[in-house]
Amino acid sequence: MRIEHTTVGIVGAGPAGLMLSHLLALAGIASVAVDARTRSEIENTHRAGILEHDSVRLLVDSGVSDRVLREGHEHRGIRLRFDGADHRIDFQRLAGASTWLYPQTAVFADLADARARDGGDVRFDGRDTAVDRLTGDEPVLRFTDADGIEAELRCDYLVGADGSRGLCRAQVPAEHRTQYFREYPFAWFGFLAAAPVSAPELIYARSEHGFALVSQRTETVQRMYFQCDPGARVEDWSDERIWEEMRRRLAGGDGFELRAGPILEKTVLPFRSFVQEPLRYGRMLLAGDAAHTVPPTGAKGLNLALADVRVLAEILERAVRQRDPGPLDDYTPRALARVWKAQHFSYWMTTMLHRDERGDGFDERRRLGELAGIVASEAGARYLAEGYTGWPAAVPV
Ligand code: PHB
C-alpha cells in the first residue's frame, strides 16, 4: 500500500469537491480529490442548469471560468404559467439580480480544466474508497487508484463531497447526527431535445395535468421536464407521447407554442429533501449533496454546494493557519443558515407548482390561489425573486 500525505483529503471530485480544491489552492493549501467515477462519466451526467448570481461571481472571481459569461445566458426573470397564461417574475426589478443558464456539466468541465491547468491533484476512477480515523488528528482516505494501486492518503482534514449516494455521511455514528427527510409522491421526467428555443425565459407551468418546465441549453438543444410518477419508466414514453403531454400541460388561450424536435436523452429524476446535521464529525466535514439534497424545482442543488465550499474553504484556511481545528465549529451554523432557506424555497416551489394526486379539489384550488397571490403582490413576487436568484452569502461570524 502506498502511503501519501496531504492537508485536505476530498472524497468526490464533482463541482463541490473541485471548487473546494481550487479555492484551497488559491489560499496555498494542498489537497487531493478522489472520485470513483471517470471524468467523462461525471461530464455526461445531465443536471440542472441555473446558476445564482453569487455562483457566477465565485466562478469568475476565482478565475475558474469566464466561459460562463461568454456562453452562459443571463436570465432576468422567469415565467410562472397557470390557468393557461404567463406571469413574469422580473428578477432585475424585484431583486436587482439575474441568474445564468449554464449547465452543471459545463461548470464541472471548467473546474476540471482549471485544476488540470494549475497542477491540482485530482484522481478520477479511484475505486473502493473508504475513510477512517475521523476523530483522530490524522484522518485517512483509502482507495485503489486508476492503475489498481492501493493508496492510503493521510490528511489533516477530510471533506465528504461525495454526493447523496456517497459513503461519507454514513460514517457519522447515528448517535452523533440527525437526518431530516421529506419524500414526495412524484418525480420529474427530464429530456433533452434537438429543438429551437420556445420562449426567451424559463417557464414553470402548473396545470391540472401536472407540472412542466421548459428550460434551455443552446439555440438548437433544449432541456425540459414534466412531473411524472416516481415509478415511471423511460421506455414507456415515446417522443410523441412526451410532446403530447408537454403540450397538454402548457396549453392556454395565449397562443403559446412549444417547439418540438427529436428527443436525445430521457431520465426519471427522483425527488427528495434531505439534511444531515451537524455537517462536521471530528475532522470530517460534509459539503453539497453529501450533506443535503433538494428537489430540483428552483435548481438550488449546485448553488448550495458552491455556497458550502466557499464557507468551508475560508474556515479550513483559518484552521490550517492556526494549526488548530477550532474554526471548524463555525462551519455547521454558517452553512446551515443558507441550507434551510434553500430547503424551504425548494419545498415551497415544488408543492406550489406540482399536482399531488393524494390531495383533493381544495388543495388544487388553494395552490392556484397561492400562485395568483404571488404574482399579484409586489412583496410575494419579490420573495420568489430573492430566493430564486440566491440570498447574499452568509456573513462571517
Ligand atoms: C435545467 O435547465 O436543467 C433546470 C432549470 C431549472 C430548474 C431545474 C432544472 O428548476
| pLDDT tens per residue, range 163-179 | 999 999 999 999 999 99
> Does residue 359 carry a pLDDT above 90?
no
pLDDT for the residue numbered 59? 96
**Which residues pair with residue 11 across a beta bridge?**
34, 160
Taking each helix axis from N to C end, the angle separating 104-117 and 15-26, rounded to the nearest 10 degrees, works out to 40
Catalytic residue among 102, 204, 225, 331: 204
pLDDT for the residue numbered 394? 43
Q: Which residues neighbour 17 within 8 Å (Cβ) at sequence distance 6 or greater? A: 10, 11, 33, 35, 159, 161, 162, 287, 288
> Does residue 106 carry a pLDDT above 50?
yes
* Main-chain dihedrals φ then ψ at residue 69, nearest 5 degrees: -80, -30
Q: Where are the beta strands (DSSP E) in 2-84?
A: 2-11, 31-34, 50-51, 73-75, 77-82
Substitution candidate for ligand 1 out of 55, 101, 215, 271 with most atoms within 8 A of CB: 215
pLDDT for the residue numbered 392? 63
Q: Which residues neighbour 143 within 8 Å (Cβ) at sequence distance 6 or greater? A: 34, 123, 126, 127, 128, 129, 130, 150, 151, 153
Substitution candidate for ligand 1 out of 213, 227, 303 with most atoms within 8 A of CB: 213
Active site includes 75? yes
| pLDDT tens per residue, range 137-155 | 999 999 999 999 999 999 9
Instruction: Read off the pLDDT band of 388 (50, 70, 90).
Output: very high
pLDDT for the residue numbered 393? 54
CB-based burial, 142-161: b 16+ in 10 Å, e otherwise: bbbbeeeeebebebbbbbbb
* Main-chain dihedrals φ then ψ at residue 305, nearest 5 degrees: -60, -40
Residues 224-231, mean pLDDT to the nearest whole number: 97
48 lines ligand 1 (CB under 6 A): yes
Percent share of the chain, pLDDT over 90: 94
pTM tops 0.75: yes
| pLDDT tens per residue, range 330-353 | 999 999 999 999 999 999 999 999
The cell numbers describing 34, all together, are 478522489
3-state class of 205 per DSSP?
strand
Residues 266-275, mean pLDDT to the nearest whole number: 95
The cell numbers describing 49, all together, are 442548469
Active site includes 300? yes
pLDDT for the residue numbered 47? 86
CA 217 to ligand 1 centroid distance, Å: 10
Least confident range from 8-17, 75-84, 357-366: namely 357-366
Catalytic residue among 103, 139, 295, 296: 296
The cell numbers describing 328, all together, are 471548524
Nearest to 285 by CA among 123, 172, 127, 126: 172
pLDDT for the residue numbered 65? 87
Domain 2-69+100-180+272-354 classification at class level: alpha beta
Check if the beta carbon of residue 7 is closer than 8 Å to that of residue 29: yes
Nearest to 320 by CA among 120, 33, 34, 27: 27
Check if the beta carbon of residue 347 is closer than 8 Å to that of residue 273: yes
pLDDT for the residue numbered 4? 97
Least confident range from 58-67, 115-124, 332-341, 386-395: namely 386-395
The cell numbers describing 384, all together, are 420568489
Q: What is the mean pLDDT of the chain?
A: 95
Active site includes 396? no
Percent share of the chain, pLDDT over 70: 98
Active site includes 296? yes
Considering only CA atoms, which residue is closest to atom 9 of ligand 1? 48
> Does residue 397 carry a pLDDT above 60?
no
How far is residue 139's CA from residue 8's CA, in Å, rounded to a whole number? 10
Helices (H), 237-300: 239-250
